[in-house]
Chain A
Amino acid sequence: MADPIAQFQIKKIATLGTIGGHEIAFTNSALYMLIAVAGISLLMIGATTKRQLVPGRMQSVAELTYEFVADMLKSSAGNEGMKFFPLVFSLFTFILFANMIGLIPGTFTVTSHIIITVMMAMIVFLTVLGYGIYRNGAKFLKLFVPSGIPIVILPLIVMIELMSFLSRPLSHSVRLFANMLAGHITLKVFAGFVTMLGGIGALGWLVAVLPLSLTVALTALEFLVAFLQAYVFTILTCIYINDAIHPGH
């Protein structure tokens, strides 16, 4: 049976050189990131070249995506949050494309590596932290001090709030990574059952219909998950940005 983890292996395609004795390589992960970015660029540039009043197919898709993300951001963080639209839109489209491309058999799923998701979560976390302090100054720290708490238990509450804040990038990144990883492993395992059972003989092929149909169903589920995880990542980004803009007035 094929190793279900093998699909996540990082393979070197070309070496770009060394920095401080460490090899900098162009890997399959980087390749699929480039493919995702190229796909997004193609969609967006293709949509905006013609710019018709009555949108064509491609323009319609691009406009839908724009409105979807813009509405999400506006409803969570208000009109002021639109300042962060480029960041949020880039995150959403990148994750969506990376997830969807990863579902094509034989491809590599960029978002199934925690280093990628942690990097994206840290961008959001540090943006929120930096902008929150820049915009609100010391008032940003009010985020950790809920109003109307007796002074006796205030230190405890502040500690808990602080931890709740620190756990954000973790849950933010682990959710996306774990869902993509688990989904792809499950798919691979069930698909592996088909060939394993097929090795038994005629009866095996008959029984193999079960895992095969399950694989088909799981693939559909994975498409849903791929979209939902991009959506969840984006909506949480919007909520965190809202915290940076309005930390407890």
Chain B
Amino acid sequence: MVVFPDTGVESMADGARDKGNGSTNRASEEAALSARLKGLGAKLGEAGRPKPDENDSRKYASDPQAMAKGFRLSTELVAGVIVGAIIGWVFDRLTGFSPWGLIVFLLLGFVAGVLNVMRAAGVVAPSKLPGGDADKM
């Protein structure tokens, strides 16, 4: 799941070399080790920052989540368009603006569908929830 950056591997190799050279001085070796650990920790923290709830919600089902997202995306767009069409049709029936309701609401529905998809994919932040990151799944 976690992909170590190349630099991390490199520094690990560096550390191993250091250990080979300065095995006489135990204190400096310990200091180098702790420094290396700190650097690695910082790097890992940097890599893991975009997903703060990772260790929480991905404990199990790391695979199903990706697939679940795919299943989600497939219907979001269609749902928006269909809802637009239904509202437009009903609007036309009620008011008698014959084609215009359908045209306008179908377009609006399409836009809403695209918005749905982008929200489900996490491209657009769920605008109404500045504090919550729920829509990321």
Cα of A236 to Cα of B116 in the assembled complex, Å: 13
Q: Is the CB of A164 within 8 A of B116?
A: yes
Most buried by B among A147, A163, A227: A163
| CB of B40 closer than 8 Å to a CB of A | no
Q: Is B83 an interface residue (CB 8 A)?
A: yes
B44 within 8 A of A: no
The interface size bin for chain A is 35 or more
What's the nearest-Cβ distance from chain A to residue B68, in Å?
5
A166 within 8 Å of B by Cβ?
yes
Q: Residues 146-187 of chain A: 1 if any B CB is under 8 Å from the residue's CB, otherwise 0?
A: 110000000000011101101110110011001100000000
Chain B: residues with Cβ within 8 Å of the partner, total of 39
Whether A248 and B79, one on each chain, are in contact in the complex, defined by CB atoms closer than 8 angstroms, is: no
What CA separation (Å) do A232 and B64 show in the bound complex?
A: 9
What's the Cα separation between A145 and B78 when bound, in Å?
23
Other-chain contact of A231, B68, B87, B130, B135 (Cβ < 8 Å): B68
Stretch among A39-47, A51-59, A70-78, A195-203 lining the B interface:
A70-78
Q: Mark B100-115, 1 if CB is under 8 A from A, else 0.
A: 0000010011011101
Known: A76-B134, A146-B128. A167 touches B57 (CB 8 A): no
Residues of A within 8 A of B132 (CB): 242, 246
A143 within 8 A of B: yes
Are B74 and A175 in contact (CB-based, < 8 A)? yes
Q: Does A239 contact B (CB under 8 A)?
A: yes
B96, chain A: closest CB distance, angstroms: 21
On whether A160 and B134 interact (CB within 8 A), knowing A167-B83, A170-B82, A229-B71, the answer reads no
The reply to whether B109 and A167 form a contact with Cβ atoms under 8 Å apart is: yes
Cβ–Cβ < 8 Å partners of B87 in chain A: 163, 166
Residue A142 interfacial (CB < 8 Å):
yes
A170 with B83: CB separation less than 8 A: yes
Chain A residue with minimal CB distance to B137?
A: A235
Provide the bound-state CA to CA distance between A75 and B74, in Å: 24
A167-B116 in contact (CB<8A): yes
Q: Using A167-B80, A167-B109 as known contacts, say yes or no to A227 and B53 having CB atoms under 8 A apart.
A: no
Pick 18 A–B contacts, CB within 8 A, sort by A: A71-B59, A143-B128, A144-B128, A147-B128, A160-B112, A164-B112, A164-B115, A167-B83, A174-B75, A175-B71, A175-B72, A175-B75, A228-B71, A231-B64, A232-B72, A238-B134, A246-B132, A249-B130
